[in-house]
Structure 1
Amino acid sequence: NACMSCTEAAPCPDMAKSTLSNHFRILREAGLIRTSKQGVQHRNVLREEDINARFPKLLKLILSFPD
């Protein structure tokens, strides 16, 4: 699993930090990501195994959609 900071995972480079924080809080509360603190950065990792156990093939389906 790739581990990224909030700013690395941002879909838009100019997105407000407060907006990012809110999105990551929602993902964390939904159990979709795990966040750890490394120095001053918060690192996020997708809880892929947990998601696949609860919703088999969901991530594969979502990630297979064209842009």
Structure 2
Amino acid sequence: MTERDPRFEHMRHYETRRQPYVQVTDYERGRYHARVIGWIPGQVFIEYPKLIVDCVTTGQL
């Protein structure tokens, strides 16, 4: 059984279909827009656009 990351217990979410987009600047991929899927203090969790990469990752504020 996998241990759950305790940060995710307090992660905040937006309502379905109300997730905002943020502009992200990545040194490898440049500037693009990604959808915010949740946040905790100090971090936002984004979903990369499918044209860039098909995965979910985290990034610093």
Q: TM-score, normalised by structure 2?
A: 0.25
Quick check: which one's helix share is greater?
1
Higher relative contact order (CA 8 A, sep 6+): 1
TM-score w.r.t. length of structure 1: 0.24
